[in-house]
Structure 1
Amino acid sequence: MREDGPKREITATVVKVLVHQRDDRGMSLEPFASRCVREGEVHELVTTDHDDTTPGARIDRVGFLGFAEIGCAGVIDRGDEVWIGGVRVGTVLGFDGCHFPNHYNILIQVPQPRTGPDLGLKPELDVRFTQSD
């Protein structure tokens, strides 16, 4: 049974760049494949080479990209493509809620964890979450 239909693209803007990596972060994958986001919320963008989507999966190897302010309300789903400054960064693996309700860590699956400077991030760059085909 198909659950997902078409959806709007979520836009956001980088508001702070992060520069560090960890191999022992201990994040825990939320059991949700999607999260609703509201205009004006700020969420953290985190890269990882983990690919396990089992609820509670431990996420240790991470690179921190930064924080982004959501520009329009909508739904971010596991598997959505993440674009920053017009460059495809990776796909949404899921969410870690260790800082919620302040913000979610949006986990982005990549071949190798990367940081904000690795990708040349700067405040005010555009971020897009697009539905994968």
Structure 2
Amino acid sequence: MRENGPKRQVTGTLVKVLVHRRDDRGMSLEPFASRCVRAGEIHELVTTTHDDTAPGAVIDHVGFLGFAEIDRAGVIDRGDEVRIGSELVGTVLGFDACHFPNHYNILIHSTRTITGAEAALRPEQEVRFSGRW
């Protein structure tokens, strides 16, 4: 059964750059393949090489990119491409809610765990989540 059709792009602005990584983080993948985000919310962007999308999968190997404020509300789906500035960071793997309702950790599958410093990120860069339908 096909559930997803076209959607608008969710955009945001990087508000804080993070510079650390962990190999023992213990995040837990939420069972949801999508989350609605509202304008003004702030969520954390986290890279991982993990690729298992099973609910509850443990995510240990992570690189922290930073926090982004959502400028344009919408739906972020597993598989969405994530770009910061003009650079493709990876695709949304899923969500960890250990800090919710303060914020979600948006887990981004990448070929390697990268940090905000390694990606030369800076506050005020545009963040985009785009579906590929």
Q: Which residue of 1 aligns with 2:32?
A: 32
Letter in 1 for 2:95: F
Q: Which residue of 2 aligns with 1:48?
A: 48
Please give the per-residue CA displacement for 1:26-47, whole angstroms capped at 9, x wherever unaligned: 0000000000000000000000
CA RMSD in angstroms comes to 0.5
SS across alignment from 1:124: coil
Q: Which residue of 2 aligns with 1:106?
A: 106
Letter in 2 for 1:89: V
Whole-Å separation in 1 of the counterparts to 2:132 and 2:7: 11
SS across alignment from 1:129: strand
What TM-score does the superposition give when structure 1 sets the normalisation length? 0.99
Whole-Å separation in 1 of the counterparts to 2:119 and 2:101: 28
Whole-Å separation in 1 of the counterparts to 2:43 and 2:121: 16
Q: Which residue of 2 aligns with 1:121?
A: 121
Q: Which residue of 2 aligns with 1:63?
A: 63
After TM superposition, give the deviation of residue 132 of structure 1 in Å. 1.9
Letter in 1 for 2:87: V
After TM superposition, give the deviation of residue 52 of structure 1 in Å. 0.2
Q: Which residue of 1 aligns with 2:7?
A: 7
After TM superposition, give the deviation of residue 84 of structure 1 in Å. 0.2
SS across alignment from 1:71: strand
Question: Is 1:86 paired with 2:105?
Answer: no
5+ residue gaps, structure 1, are: none
Letter in 2 for 1:86: S
SS across alignment from 1:15: strand
Moved over 4 A (4+): none
SS across alignment from 2:12: strand
SS across alignment from 2:103: coil
Q: Percent identity?
A: 73
Aligned length: 133
Please give the per-residue CA displacement for 1:14-64, whole angstroms capped at 9, x wherever unaligned: 000000000000000000000000000000000000000000000000000
Please give the per-residue CA displacement for 1:55-79, whole angstroms capped at 9, x wherever unaligned: 0000000000000000011000000
Letter in 1 for 2:16: K
Question: Is 1:76 paired with 2:76?
Answer: yes
SS across alignment from 1:25: coil
After TM superposition, give the deviation of residue 131 of structure 1 in Å. 0.4
